[in-house]
Amino acid sequence: MFRPLSLYVGLRYTAAKRRNHFISFISLTSMIGLMLGVAVLIIVLSVMNGFDRELKQRILGMVPHAVIQGNPDLDNWQQVDREVEKHPSVIAAAPFIQGQGMVTGGGDVRGVMLNGVLPEQERSVSIIENHMIEGGLDDLKSGEFGIIIGRQMAASLRLQLGDRVTVVLPEASVTPAGVLPRLKRFTVKGVFSVGAELDGN
């Protein structure tokens, strides 16, 4: 019967005779050490692969992989959008406006990153629709000043669906009463959770 040399040697030293107990002990300890080493390696690789997958699916699924910007604005964005989507390497494209500001609600104030989007196009480039806890992108209507926020921010500002928040932009408006910051009241239309720091920003 065919028996591999490595298996033959291993079994021989593992099942040594009574006078060679020390050799059996060393062989058994070596095998256990090898098994533990391989098990630890497999576990670490599994954890790293899971982390890499979560990073790609959650964080990179919420931020654009490439951005085309105007200077200062992109006036003909519809034409740019059509040209970009013709490229064979581009899966989808969507316009957005981004800026920083502050949100006040529930007696608290938070600095935020604001994204103005077109809901019908945003779902083709973002995973946010798959991670909505309440509401959805379809609840954002033109002219209604709706806003979707992350779960961490909703918890820290004690906000629920339908609550009103004030968004303050770092831009000044000249009025008869003087120079005032630009602010607008929004209604919370949805809450999302992607399990990352984006939920609080």
Structural domain contains residue 12: yes
Asked whether residue 55 is assigned to any structural domain, the reply reads yes
User: Same domain for 147 and 50?
Assistant: no
Considering the domain architecture, whether residues 119 and 175 belong to the same structural domain is answered as yes
pTM attached to this predicted model: 0.66
- 133: in domain: yes
Judgement on whether residues 41 and 111 belong to the same structural domain of the protein: no
- Do 47 and 117 sit in the same domain of this protein? no
Quote the pLDDT of residue 26. Answer: 78
101 lies in the same domain as 171: yes
Number of domains in the chain: 2
Run means of pLDDT, 10 residues per run, the chain, 201 residues: 68 62 74 90 89 73 82 82 90 88 84 89 85 88 89 89 88 72 88 82 84
Does residue 81 belong to any structural domain of this protein?
no
Q: Can you give the pLDDT at residue 43?
A: 93
Question: Residue 20 belongs to what domain range?
Answer: 5-59
Distance CA 168, CA 175 (A): 16
Same domain, 101 and 160: yes
Confidence (pLDDT) at 41: 93
Q: Which residues face 148 on adjacent strands?
A: 190
Whether residues 107 and 185 share a domain: the answer is yes
